[in-house]
Structure 1
Amino acid sequence: MIDPRRLRILRAVADHRTVTAAASALYLTPSAVSQQLSALEQETGHVLLIRGGRGVRLTAAGEILLGHTHSVLAQLELAEAELAAYAGGTAGEVTVAAFATGIAEVVAPAAGLLAAGHPDIRLRVRDAEGDESLPLVLGGEADLAVAVEYRGAPGEDDPRLSRVPLYAETFDAVLPAGHPLAAAGRVALAELAESDWIGPYPGNPCHDMVLLACELAGFQPRLVHSSDDFRAVVALAGAGAGVALVPRSALRGMELGDTVVRPVSGPAATRRVFAAVRRGAERHPLISPVLEALAKAAAGLSTG
């Protein structure tokens, strides 16, 4: 009989590619992870991992078992959801990991909706960048993520997650008030090719979106200043330090100072925001109302 707890460890190792990283994500020691994997190999009668200098990779047998692991763990999530529903489990806490703007745009309004319609469901919110929240869900540290599409993000067909699209928003150009294009109605990104740029750090999904938008416009931006705080980005632009692309919702209600905000002509960067839970958990009586509240809070937010 295969122990499903060991299947969770196998998936963590497959996700993180090293025993040490998987152990950290699972709050276990590397030796405990190695012991559990050895026990899993004994249970299955197959070598599941090949250890190399830079990490581990799954054998063909390991890949086969990983495919079944996704289904087994999703079914266990579904079983827990149905048992909770049977027991009337409509009171409890749901941990939501979301990036700052997502918290302001949908998580906080959803909390208000839940307080009115489901007062026994309590949200615990964790601030996590758009690429950090999904690993928290997969690792069991959060029940639900509000995340953005980014390069390397799990796709809609990922067997580990169920996703609900929330909203999509465009990025606007933020220019110093004295910039030659400040008086233009719209700005073509190619016209900013020679400007200094301000943008998020590598690893932030918005960094990838800015780079991709500029590449499509035919140039690589000269990123001189870096900050993940869009207020800092706007302040630097107002000081004449450069130009930037900023998600529209992040600019809402912000003191813009000595900057102008202009829509971008042609293809523009777009941030697509979605909610995600471990596959099977979407029917849990605590999580399902939260997904519904997030979708309701996001209605009408999409910009284009």
Structure 2
Amino acid sequence: MIDVQRLRVLRAVAEHGSFNRAAAALRLTPSAVSQHVAALERSLGAQVVARSTRGVTLTPAGRIMVGAAESVAAELEHAKQQVDRLGSGRTHLTIATFTSGGRLLLPDALAHLATAHPGTVVHVREAEPEDSLPLVRQGAVDLALAYHFDGPLPGRNAGLAWTALMDDPLHVVLAEGHPLAAREALDIAELAAEPWVLGCLKTETYLRRYAERAGFAPEIRGTTTDYFFARSLVAAGVGISLIPSIAQTPQMAGVRTVPITPPAPTRHLGVATIHRRNNPQARTLIKALQERAAALDEN
């Protein structure tokens, strides 16, 4: 049988990249960490880390075991929460969500949940996907309303189930008097000479990727972490911006939104949960989120 403590140690080694840093995080000695890892390797009959003077990296077997460690930790945390809640006699549901998706999708879904499961205590945490997905894996939240760009969901193979909700294309936002503001669609190559405002720092990588394909490097004039503020800067003439469609409500005077010709940059919205988790409240909420997303797609 695999020792859970050894899995915990391996998970810390993977997170921190060295035995010394993992030992400090776990309040163990580096020798104890090394012994736990060695014992795990003996029990598996396979090497889980590759050691070098620059630290340690996971082997393929190690990556499998770290995924298992995250699932075990999540199940234990979920079980602890259930035990803690037995005395109250009430069901709790904890949700992590990114801001724009939570604002547009979550309120109606929570109202439906309250009708279907009265008495459920709801906890909501604001978190971007890079933070919320680990919270799901760790069992700290029951589900996460999240998104990803091109490629697979980060961590999808680490015990997470992904329920797709909707696609959220990014549009170009320009000042109302901009010469291109009246266009029905724009090729991103037409924007090579424009200064840009970022409404989310993660979109910079995405913007640069699409700009590189179009043969230019974008000039960044403004950086924010708030799409509403970014649109305000666009209206003031600082630059243009690339903003997801659901983040463009409420509407703002002084700006115009223009779609990008395909293939357009797109966020893929969905809900992340732990595999095999039987939670009727979570299932009700996910179904309500799907219905809300479908209604938005029809408009």
Q: TM-score of the superposition, structure 1-length normalised?
A: 0.79
Partner residue, 1:272? 268
The answer to whether the Cα contact below 8 Å between 2:74 and 2:137 also exists between their aligned partners in 1 is no
Query: Is structure 2 residue 31 aligned with structure 1 residue 31?
Result: no
Distance 2:285 2:270 in 1: 13
Query: Is structure 2 residue 107 aligned with structure 1 residue 108?
Result: yes
Query: Is structure 2 residue 269 aligned with structure 1 residue 252?
Result: no
CA deviation map 1:149-204 (0-9, x unaligned): 146864585142111001111112111122211232322221111010011454x2
CA deviation map 1:18-41 (0-9, x unaligned): 568878xxxx83434964663353
Correspondence 1:1-304 to 2 at 5 A: 1-14=1-14, 17-18=17-18, 29-32=25-28, 35=32, 38-39=35-36, 41-42=38-39, 44-45=41-42, 48-52=48-52, 54-59=54-59, 62-63=62-63, 65-66=65-66, 69=69, 73=72, 91-150=90-149, 154=153, 158-200=157-199, 202=201, 204=202, 206-254=203-251, 256-281=252-277, 283-302=278-297
Instruction: Report the residue type matching 1:238 in the other structure.
Output: A
The answer to whether the Cα contact below 8 Å between 1:171 and 1:270 also exists between their aligned partners in 2 is yes
Structure with the bigger RCO (C-alpha within 8 Å, sep 6+) is 1
Distance 2:296 2:187 in 1: 24
The answer to whether the Cα contact below 8 Å between 1:90 and 1:120 also exists between their aligned partners in 2 is no
Size of the alignment, in residue pairs? Answer: 290
What secondary structure sits across from 1:299 in the alignment?
helix
Once the two structures are TM-superposed, the CA of residue 93 in structure 1 deviates from its matched residue by: 1.5
Q: Are residues 250 and 7 of structure 1, via their aligned partners in 2, closer, same or farther at CA, if it must alter by over 3 Å?
A: same
The answer to whether the Cα contact below 8 Å between 1:177 and 1:259 also exists between their aligned partners in 2 is yes
Instruction: Report the residue type matching 1:259 in the other structure.
Output: V
Once the two structures are TM-superposed, the CA of residue 272 in structure 1 deviates from its matched residue by: 0.6
Distance 1:152 1:5 in 2: 33
Instruction: Report the residue type matching 2:293 in the other structure.
Output: A
Once the two structures are TM-superposed, the CA of residue 235 in structure 1 deviates from its matched residue by: 0.6
Once the two structures are TM-superposed, the CA of residue 296 in structure 1 deviates from its matched residue by: 2.6
Distance 1:116 1:22 in 2: 46
Q: Are residues 61 and 161 of structure 1, via their aligned partners in 2, closer, same or farther at CA, if it must alter by over 3 Å?
A: closer
Instruction: Report the residue type matching 1:219 in the other structure.
Output: F
Distance 2:289 2:5 in 1: 31
Distance 1:18 1:152 in 2: 29
Once the two structures are TM-superposed, the CA of residue 115 in structure 1 deviates from its matched residue by: 0.6
The answer to whether the Cα contact below 8 Å between 1:146 and 1:275 also exists between their aligned partners in 2 is yes
The answer to whether the Cα contact below 8 Å between 2:194 and 2:240 also exists between their aligned partners in 1 is yes
Distance 2:141 2:29 in 1: 21
Distance 1:303 1:210 in 2: 27
The answer to whether the Cα contact below 8 Å between 1:130 and 1:148 also exists between their aligned partners in 2 is yes
Instruction: Report the residue type matching 1:297 in the other structure.
Output: R
Mean CA deviation greater in 6-15 or 243-252:
6-15
Instruction: Report the residue type matching 1:164 in the other structure.
Output: T
Instruction: Report the residue type matching 1:296 in the other structure.
Output: E
Distance 1:98 1:67 in 2: 23
The answer to whether the Cα contact below 8 Å between 1:200 and 1:228 also exists between their aligned partners in 2 is yes
Distance 2:89 2:167 in 1: 31
CA deviation map 1:90-127 (0-9, x unaligned): 94222211110111122222211111111232221111
Instruction: Report the residue type matching 1:257 in the other structure.
Output: A
Distance 2:143 2:157 in 1: 15
Instruction: Report the residue type matching 1:234 in the other structure.
Output: R
The answer to whether the Cα contact below 8 Å between 1:10 and 1:37 also exists between their aligned partners in 2 is no
Once the two structures are TM-superposed, the CA of residue 216 in structure 1 deviates from its matched residue by: 3.7
The answer to whether the Cα contact below 8 Å between 2:117 and 2:281 also exists between their aligned partners in 1 is no
Distance 1:125 1:43 in 2: 37
Structure 1 unaligned residues grouped into runs of 5+:
none
CA deviation map 1:72-91 (0-9, x unaligned): 739958x96xx99xx9x994
Once the two structures are TM-superposed, the CA of residue 221 in structure 1 deviates from its matched residue by: 1.6
Once the two structures are TM-superposed, the CA of residue 57 in structure 1 deviates from its matched residue by: 1.3
